[in-house]
A and B are shown apart, each in its own frame.
Chain A
């Protein structure tokens, strides 16, 4: 966190990439991009490129981990070795294990798990290219992929990070801001109900800054929700036969 002291994060009210404080990076969402998975979604958030696949409900293995009352949700967040500057060693590390847990808990509240006791609903997120905010991009893609798989859901989950750079609370940090900024706070929420399903923070912020960040994130999640919804509608408006 120290190295950033010489970076000018804010210049004439704009950020290093020219965005305003409350501006999202460009988001592109494409639904149903994979043939074998039950549901899938490709998503770009700025330079992040992620893809999510969903399987299930299907039989839960191992059987002793089944829940007699509801489906078990599994979530695996995985970074491709080439997704970052220094090659990432393949396989789960401590960071990705924690992100998988947090992401699973971010989408679980909208899944109607009681419909499918003893089964597993599995979400696989692959980060193909990373540019800060991969977990939020992954949660956004996962939420859409779950809907694409036809999993009964109460709503969609939308996610974005806020943080503090150059003394300002800003939305959707890019890589420079994330690496050298003062704080980072990823959030996931059910936008239409203002219910927060994931919240993490590291760095240092005051209570007032956190409150301000939450407000920024809420507005952005409403925007993201609309993009997710539009992408899903677009997929199912056209009557191409995807079973082929």
Chain B
């Protein structure tokens, strides 16, 4: 209960500052917190990346194992994305089965990867109809400082970029590179009192009543959109966000996802 009251006070404070044109941490409205990407940090994973955006800290691991394809796509590998919001990352997270927030997080990241066709799933076929690679993309949130989606999506593509197929473990031969053909980047924005803010931190996320995540690719096409929150957004605002989001994704891609 005490926590909630503190959050209410801080929400008001943050909203008042924004109305006057500034953010609590001194950032510009269109500015991200500092981003860092570390790759290949979990040796037992086939690929991994740890992304920090400000105090937000997300670890993404990739594991691969051979398995059966879906009957309607016998020649294609399978991507399974999962997100865990463990209590370690926030006093608000509870252990137990995935809830709507962790499911949404995983599904939005998954949609970005799938829509962009970043992973060529046809190349993941080992034996048509019998055996394909199943790619498990696991998102582990370590610290929730807000805007988990962008960190998780960046971690996912960064981890995939350094993923090796574990051929030896399963007595398979061949090239062990996982071909990554695109670099989807998620950019999340909120609207607070008519202002569009990029990369909302924990308290800005609470202060905003709705937010939009936009995932775009190297050629500026969009491969995922998700609006969330309990308030509507004007069409003009969404169109403006579309523009900002694609541009910002380009900057992040250039800096953190060398082809």
Contact = CB atoms under 8 A, between A and B. Distances in A.
A200 B103 contact: no
Nearest to B233: A196
Interface in A2-22: 2-3
A207 B238 contact: no
Interface in B99-125: 99-100, 103-104, 106-107, 111, 114-117, 122
B220 A199 contact: no
Main secondary structure of the interface of A (DSSP, over half): mixed
A214 interface: yes
Contact of A195 (B220, B233, B242, B246): B233
Interface residues of B, number: 40
A201 B232 contact: no
A102 to B, nearest CB: 7
Given A203-B223, A214-B238, A100 B232 contact: no
B194 to A, nearest CB: 14
B229 A105 contact: yes
Interface in B235-249: 235, 238-239, 242-243, 246
A196 B76 contact: no
A202 B114 contact: yes
Interface in B203-259: 210, 212, 217, 220-235, 238-239, 242-243, 246
A199 B225 contact: yes
A201 B239 CA distance: 14
A73 B230 CA distance: 10
A185 interface: yes
**Residue among A97, A100, A204, A206 having the largest count of chain B Cβ atoms under 10 Å:** A204
B100 A200 contact: no
B98 interface: yes
Interface in A76-133: 94-95, 97-98, 100-102, 105, 108-109
A98 B99 CA distance: 9
A227 interface: no
Contacts of A214: 235, 238-239
B255 to A, nearest CB: 22
Contacts of B76: 2
A210 B242 contact: yes
Contacts of B225: 185, 199-201, 210
Contacts of B230: 73, 105, 108-109
A190 interface: yes
Contact of A200 (B114, B117, B217, B226): B226
A65 to B, nearest CB: 13
A199 B214 CA distance: 11
Contacts of B104: 98, 101
Contacts of B246: 207
Contacts of A23: none
A194 B234 contact: yes
A197 B104 CA distance: 17
Contacts of B238: 196, 199, 214
B222 to A, nearest CB: 6
Given A199-B238, A201-B222, A98 B116 contact: no
Contacts of A199: 212, 225-227, 233, 238
A97 B115 contact: no
B233 A94 contact: no
A101 B116 contact: no
A205 interface: yes
Given A98-B107, A189-B232, A202 B115 contact: yes
A108 to B, nearest CB: 4
A189 B192 CA distance: 19
Contact of B221 (A101, A189, A206): A206
20 contacts: A3-B72, A3-B73, A94-B98, A97-B100, A98-B100, A98-B104, A108-B231, A195-B232, A199-B226, A202-B115, A204-B116, A204-B217, A204-B223, A205-B221, A206-B221, A207-B222, A207-B242, A210-B225, A210-B242, A218-B235
Given A1-B117, A109-B230, A204-B217, 13 more contacts: A2-B122, A73-B230, A94-B106, A95-B107, A100-B100, A101-B104, A105-B230, A108-B231, A109-B231, A199-B226, A201-B225, A202-B224, A203-B115
